[in-house]
Structure 1
Amino acid sequence: MSSASETVGRAWGHARVSTTDQDALLQFAALRSAGVEEVRIITDHCSGASAERPGLTGLLEQLQPGDVLTVWKLDRLGRSVSHLVSLVDDLGRRGVEFRSLTEALDTTTPGGRLLFHVVAAVAQFERELIVERTRAALAAARAQNRQLGRPSRVNEHQFRLIHQMAEVGTTHAVIAASTGLSKAVVGRVLRGEIASLAHFSRDTDGALPLYEEPSL
């Protein structure tokens, strides 16, 4: 692997392998056949979902207008469709072209640019569908008085004790130690930021022990 030196109007390649057991020989061969010199192929060793790709990060920073970035397959570059669209769109604004050999996507050609716009439109449509479905599910849950959000580890006893101790001026650190929760969780409970606890009552009754402020 070599570092990306500043070169205008040259072909660059990026390869990614998921584990140390894999190698990039197949990707290298395809990139070289496409006209990318081996010294200009930058490789990352990471999973597809990883956001840490130092090779790609350094390469993207040094690409200049007129350069062409080539990958073997689309999944070698983007973590998701939306991430891929964002990357290629940013390259286009900078005057950098993009090619994916397996999918025959090439923004240097009119057909390739059209295909990319179709992919971008599908990604946007998918995002809007997810937002719409999420809003509909939340509205239905509220209408049926169902619990929203993931279940909290905080039980009703802890919930009441947190509020009781806070009312007498007990610090978050002491409340956390007394309830076995973190100070961050205690703060979220007191601010009402945990939706799944909304059905709990702050009122204490005989079934729950009351907290008494220690006398000095």
Structure 2
Amino acid sequence: MTMKRKHEPAASGELRCAIYTRKSTEDGLEQAFNSLDAQREACAAYILSQRQEGWLPSAEIYDDGGFSGGSMDRPALKRLLADIRAGRINVIVVYKVDRLTRSLADFAKIVEVLDEARASFVSVTQAFNTTTSMGRLTLNVLLSFAQFEREVTGERIRDKIAASKARGMWMGGNVPLGYEVRERKLIIDQDDAATLRMIFERYLALGSVLALQAELAANDLRSKVRISRHGRAYGGAQFSRGSLYLMLRTAFTSER
């Protein structure tokens, strides 16, 4: 059983430094030397170069592999901030500032925690010192650009998806009843289409989604069983009122 190393308070003049690493996706993390390792190595070398200033590396590892910088909902970051509040960490060392956060609002929250604990953070590849007003101004400017880049990327992805849909391409998600996907296009499934037409006809006859759901359940009519690209089966469940509402609303809206 591996014993967790207990934190000890830093001696006078010493600065306990925590290396924080992050990668937005999990791609490549299975490699023997991955992006997190490269970030940690660069940060460790920087801490060593500041040894004469009393900088000491913490034994704790704060890695967030597969977490976006646009949110603070990251396990290692939460643990790091808790250690800062407890006075166990004096300096956060990151490879680049966007490894810590890509959000101005989140940056303000992190700086507040650092100020309360009289701690700071350093970017290895960028000269920052959050204890000065000029350093904070520089950080705010760079974080503004980081947030701008994230928002522009999101807009570009949304525009690409919209353009692909306009060309009739299927961009993923649950395939609607009555269709199947072939070469990234929705093709009518004649068997399912007959079931779909029956559902619409019964709704028009009954005039109530609740009554429609009860009738479908009584007849044990279920959604189509599909196989995901990972080989897992899904579907085959009774129709819920929510799914029926969505199906009918989509159909009647498209007819307008």
**TM-score w.r.t. length of structure 2:** 0.51
Structure 2 counterpart of 1:192, one-letter code: L
For 1:115, the equivalent position in structure 2 comes to: 138
- Cα deviation digits, residues 188-210 of structure 1 (max 9, x gap): 43121798766677xxxxxxxxx
Structure 2 counterpart of 1:14, one-letter code: I
* Change beyond 3 A, Cα 1:33–1:160: farther
Q: Which moved more, 1:186-195 or 1:118-127?
A: 186-195
Q: Does 1:191 align with 2:245?
A: yes
1: distance between equivalents of 2:94 and 2:66? 14
Verify the 8 A CA contact 1:88 1:98 in the aligned structure 2. no
1:167 pairs with one of 207, 212, 215:
212
How far the C-alpha of 1:100 sits from its partner, in A, is: 0.9
Residues 19-168 of structure 1 aligned to structure 2 (within 5 Å)? 19=30, 21-22=32-33, 23=37, 24-35=40-51, 36-38=55-57, 40-44=58-62, 47=65, 49=67, 54-64=75-85, 68-74=90-96, 77-78=99-100, 81-82=102-103, 85-94=104-113, 95=115, 96-126=119-149, 152-156=174-178, 157=193, 158-162=195-199, 164=202, 167=212
> How many pairs does the alignment contain?
195
Q: Structure 2 stretches of 5 or more lacking a match?
A: 23-28, 179-192, 204-210, 226-234
Q: Which moved more, 1:8-17 or 1:55-64?
A: 8-17
* Change beyond 3 A, Cα 1:4–1:20: farther
1: distance between equivalents of 2:254 and 2:196? 7
**TM-score w.r.t. length of structure 1:** 0.58
2: distance between equivalents of 1:118 and 1:184? 53
2: distance between equivalents of 1:172 and 1:29? 69
Overall identity of the aligned pairs, in %: 21
Structure 2 counterpart of 1:58, one-letter code: R
Give me the CA root mean square deviation: 5.0
For 1:206, the equivalent position in structure 2 comes to: none
2: distance between equivalents of 1:3 and 1:162? 64
Verify the 8 A CA contact 1:4 1:59 in the aligned structure 2. no
Verify the 8 A CA contact 1:44 1:56 in the aligned structure 2. yes
Greater relative contact order: 1 or 2 (C-alpha under 8 angstroms, separation 6 or more)? 1
1: distance between equivalents of 2:250 and 2:45? 54
How far the C-alpha of 1:172 sits from its partner, in A, is: 9.5
* Change beyond 3 A, Cα 1:195–1:65: farther
Verify the 8 A CA contact 1:44 1:55 in the aligned structure 2. yes
Structure 2 counterpart of 1:21, one-letter code: A
How far the C-alpha of 1:44 sits from its partner, in A, is: 3.9
How far the C-alpha of 1:107 sits from its partner, in A, is: 1.0
